[in-house]
Amino acid sequence: MIDIKFLRENPDVVRENIKKKFQNHKLVLVDEVLELDAKNKEVKLKGDDLRNKRKTLSSEIGNLMRNGQKDEAEKIKEEVNKINEELVENEKLETKYAEEIKARMMKIPNIMHESVPIGKDDSQNVEVKKYGEPKVPDYEIPYHADIMESFSGLDLDSARRVAGNGFYYLVGDIARLHSAIISYARDFMINKGFTYCVPPFMIRSDVVTGVMSFEEMDAMMYKIEGEDLYLIGTSEHSMIGKFKDQILKKENLPYTMTSYSPCFRKEKGAHGIEERGVYRIHQFEKQEMIVICEPEESYEWYDKMWNYTVELFRSLDIPVRTLECCSGDLADLKAKSVDVEAWSPRQKKYFEVGSCSNLTDAQSRRLGIRVKGEKGNYLPHTLNNTVVAPPRMLIAFLENHYNEDGSIDIPEVLWPYMGGTKKLVKK
């Protein structure tokens, strides 16, 4: 959510930002906010006038009573009562206008960074850089589900009977590899100076609307029936929510945290749920990182964060590339975002395995996160980034380490997490 003061002073900038995101249906919101804001100012001024008048009359009543002019005092009391009734109605209008303004402001997208490329959807995202040499071996690499099943490591049929499509059982060496990658990613981020955290896996609605747009909420979140609770789609939701309504000490910034959680997503839309694989699913596990920092430091942290993900994947001998997300692919609260994509030698293309985003002060404003500064309180910037998210990441891992005989090489950095195992061999 942007600052209403910024909208008042720069309505054309806000309109142009909406157009660049190809959300012309939201242009009307700018005019509606300006109109409601003007009405709200009038109501507030009227309220101030009424309160001043009441104060003057109340003082006059006291003087009259002291002078024994009770009848005159009673007449003014009636006038004060009428002012009180008018104030009640006026305050209702103030509340009404404030709620209507907030409802519209919550739908207006954050102001994008000037470097964001303009494009309608993810097909127009821009490649930034490749890391590592993508290779295609001279032997066939099976579909990732077939590789897992060849190690008796994936059971989709049982999962369908238990929970339906979009769920899975990981078993044996594949399950261990999954946990090893998560554990390695945890320690990787701790060694970067991040504080490890395991957050709540459910959050209240006021946190949901604080960290994401209504459109994202509807497309992603699972609601717990009969309770004001949602299953998280990523631990960023509860990690940023941890600071809701808090006034942070300037000397404690930046907050740098890495968190583990299961994640739950509806995956509504054109992509749908896979029948056989584990690329697009309802449930997965994830190691995440978040930063809450000084506004002037947020883009420095942004570059550090996505570079950490690139470094982690390269330490596992997986080629990756970075893609700058275009305006149409940028979620409403994000000012800038970059996707990290891993190389798939089977498909001979890259696919998304993580995303890093700078949300500037949008989440802080929605959640009431402030910093106590020398000249008053101000809003910090918030950022989030995927460290690693298996089982999707397992697809890239298995394909890039698959040998012609069907075995899987384990990179040296994972040996301690795999009990010294250096190669997975079919039993």
User: Are 185 and 354 a contacting pair, CB within 8 Å?
Assistant: no
Residue 219 confidence (pLDDT) above 90: no
pLDDT per residue as tens digits for the range 319-334:
999 999 999 999 999 9
The pLDDT tens digits for 379-393 are 999 999 999 998 889
> Structure tokens of 179?
């946990």
Across the range 413-417, mean pLDDT stands at 98
**Rounded Cα distance, 144 and 343, in Å:** 13
Q: What pLDDT is recorded for position 59?
A: 80
pTM for this entry: 0.90
- Put residue 161 in one of left, alpha, beta given phi > 0 → left and psi -120 to 50 → alpha: alpha
> Residue 375 pLDDT > 90, yes or no?
no
Query: CA torsion, points 244, 245, 249, 252, in degrees to nearest 10?
Result: 0
| pLDDT above 90 coverage of the chain, percent | 84
Which pLDDT belongs to residue 78? 85
Q: In this predicted structure, what is the pLDDT of residue 272?
A: 56
| Residue 217 or residue 119, greater confidence | 119
Alpha carbon 93 to its chain's center: 33
At 213, the pLDDT band (50, 70, 90 cuts) reads confident
Question: What pLDDT is recorded for position 267?
Answer: 78
| Distance separating alpha carbons of residues 390 and 286, to the nearest angstrom | 6
CA–CA distances in Å: residue 41 to residues 8, 105, 109, 407: 12, 17, 24, 70
72-109 tens-digit pLDDT: 887 888 888 889 999 999 999 999 999 999 999 999 99
pLDDT of 293 higher than 60: yes
* CB distance 93 to 47 below 8 Å: no
What mean pLDDT comes out for the span 7-14? 97
The pLDDT value given to residue 277: 87
**What is each CA distance from 218 to 38, 103, 293, in whole angstroms?**
32, 16, 29
Query: To the nearest whole percent, how much of the chain has pLDDT over 70?
Result: 98
Residue 393's pLDDT is what?
93
Residue carrying the six token digits 């996505």: 306
- Partners of 247 in beta bridges: 370
Cβ neighbourhood burial of 77 (10 Å; 0-12, 13-18, 19+): middle
Tally Cβ neighbours within 10 Å of residue 84. 11
Q: Which amino acid is at 111?
A: I
DSSP for 29-76, please give it.
Answer: HHHHHHHHHHHHHHHHHHHHHHHHHHHHHHHHHHHHHHTT-HHHHHHH
Q: What is the pLDDT of residues 101-147, one digit of tens each?
A: 999 999 999 999 999 999 999 999 999 999 999 999 999 999 999 99
Over 60: is that where the pLDDT of 198 sits?
Answer: yes
Domains in the chain with CATH codes: 4-105 (1.10.287.40), 122-424 (3.30.930.10)
User: Counting Cβ atoms within 10 Å, is residue 293 exposed (0-12), middle (13-18) or buried (19+)?
Assistant: buried
